[in-house]
Amino acid sequence: MNKKIIAIIITVIASLLAAFILFNLYKYLHLYNSIYEPIPNQDLIVEPAPTTSEEEDENKIDPFTLLILGIDARGKNITRSDTMILSVINPSTHKLTLLSIPRDTYAKIPKYGNDKINHAIVYGGVALSEATLENFLGVPIDHYVTVDFESFRQIVDQIGGIEIDVKKRMRYYDPTDGTDINLHPGLQLLDGENALDYARYRKSSIGKGDSDFDRMDRQHEVIKALTDKVKDNLSIGMIYDMMDIIGDHLKTDLTHTQIIEMYKTFNNFSSEDIEEISLEGEGKRMPYGEYELYFYVVSEDEKDRVKELLEDALEIQE
């Protein structure tokens, strides 16, 4: 093969690689433009919270908090934050720390008074949810991600389902909102709809329902199963398909630089790198206007305990 032919082949390969890289860049930028949504300034009363350390290296990501909100979005309206998870992302330890906040948690919502914490997003969007949780725990919330139920269903279906050991019979039917959960015990492959039902199940039509802690344990179980399934089966085609799904159903205020650096840091991430913190409290019926409602009440001592654990994960020094 003469040098001219070799040069032509190399040129063609280089052109194809360049086209591939540019196409991926276009796909990424198109996705980012769809999901990036900074929080507008709002006149909220937020108590001072500690801040993370200054960056020592512009290419290094300091530990930061990320509020993950699983929302029930119908049309363009957010009806509630069905799932609220405060995560600490620490590149230096390669750990993701998760704290699930029960949606009935009794908290002071700025300008609205004491209420269930998941009502904050209805009253004032993500900004008010962040302000409420910062006041509640005294820990800074740096960024947020909102994901609606439909994206979860589609992503699980896209990867071929996730394997879950369902521990018991789960049956709940509510025609008012279309809920129809019908799962049987045993190790099984759950599609998107059934995986979401498994994660959301709390009330029962055939016996005693589950507590918020049971529900949060299942949510963490699903997150870990999803993480490992994606990691083990990731391909270019899957990335493209997931990017299309995410672009329609996810919003965040992470910058594209932060997203890229997170990918570099966590490209070998697995469920073994996930740590969990529990928020202990007790259920109480308390006055709410003219009624009495169920609330999940957390003591100040428990808030202090959880705050210390989160600060340890953030590597905040007193």
Residues 91-145: tens digit of each pLDDT:
888 888 999 898 899 999 999 999 999 999 999 999 999 999 999 999 999 999 9
pLDDT winner (highest mean) among 38-52, 148-162, 225-239: 148-162
Query: At which residue do the structure tokens 């600490």 appear?
Result: 88
pLDDT of 56 higher than 50: no
- DSSP letter assigned to residue 282: E
- Tell me how crowded residue 312 is: count the other CB atoms within 10 A of its CB: 12
Torsion angle in degrees (nearest 10) through CA of 187, 194, 172, 103: 100
Residues near 298 by beta carbon (within 8 Å), at least 6 away in sequence: 105, 106, 279, 280, 281
Distance CA 94, CA 57 (A): 17
pLDDT of 158 higher than 70: yes
Residues near 302 by beta carbon (within 8 Å), at least 6 away in sequence: 279, 280, 281
Classify residue 3 by burial, with Cβ atoms within 10 Å: 0-12, 13-18, 19+.
exposed
Strand 274-277 and strand 95-100: the pairing is parallel
Task: Give the pLDDT confidence score for residue 49 in this predicted structure.
Answer: 44
262-307 residue pLDDT tens: 777 777 777 788 888 989 999 999 988 888 999 999 999 999 999 9
pTM for the complete prediction?
0.74
- Which residue ranges form the domains of the chain, and what is each CATH number? 64-314 (3.40.630.190)
If you compute the radius of gyration of the chain from its CA atoms, what whole number of angstroms results? 22
Instruction: Answer for the pair 109, 123: CB distance below 8 angstroms, yes or no.
Output: yes
Distance CA 213, CA 206 (A): 20
